[in-house]
Structure 1
């Protein structure tokens, strides 16, 4: 989990500087942490305030966008993360990505939206 904490801190800094390479490697680390221990990593990501950084990283022009959408999709697999995803303002930028011509962006965006909306009456 130390690597996860480091990656979360680096992501916070890199997202402010728009350093694509740094953001990309941080996203890889977060996805790996979710694959290893989904619930604990999700809680840590939420506690560190990373969800509020993600809308700005969902730019149609960014090469990181598919990974960001994938991260959101993975986070939203946990029922307790769906509300925080909505509260962080992730739905509007995800919806805007539905006009993308990039198949990977469309795939991950669809997964993210589907997981966020899964089993929700709202």
Structure 2
């Protein structure tokens, strides 16, 4: 989990610099952590305020966008993370991505929106 904490700290810094290479490697680490222990990694992502950074990383022109949408989809598999995803403002940028021509962006965006909305009456 120390690697995850380091990656989350680096992601905070890299996202302010718009350094795509730094962001990509951090996103890869997040995806790996979510694959290993989704619940624990999701809690850590929420605790460190990473959800609030994700809307700015969901740019249609960014090469990071499919990974960011994948991270959101994985985090939103946890019922307790769905409301924080909505509160972080992830829905509007995800909806904008539905206009993308990139199949991977569409796939991950659909997964993210589906997982966030799963079992929700709102």
Cα distance between partner residues in 2 of 1:107 and 1:36: 22
Q: What is the TM-score of this pair, normalised by structure 2? A: 0.99
Which digits, 9 at most, give the CA deviation of each residue in 1:40-68, with x for residues without a partner? 11000000000000000000000000000
- Find the counterpart in structure 1 of residue 58 from structure 2: 58
- Find the counterpart in structure 2 of residue 5 from structure 1: 5
Cα distance between partner residues in 2 of 1:57 and 1:104: 16
- Find the counterpart in structure 1 of residue 114 from structure 2: 114
Q: Structure 1 segments of 4 or more deviating over 4 A?
A: none
Number of aligned residue pairs: 122
1:82 equivalent in alignment to 2:93: no
Q: What is the TM-score of this pair, normalised by structure 1? A: 0.99
- Find the counterpart in structure 1 of residue 72 from structure 2: 72
Cα distance between partner residues in 2 of 1:117 and 1:37: 22
1:21-36 matches, cutoff 5 A: 21-36=21-36
Cα distance between partner residues in 2 of 1:69 and 1:37: 18
- Unpaired stretches in structure 1, ≥5 consecutive residues: none
- Unpaired stretches in structure 2, ≥5 consecutive residues: none
- Find the counterpart in structure 2 of residue 48 from structure 1: 48
RMSD: 0.3
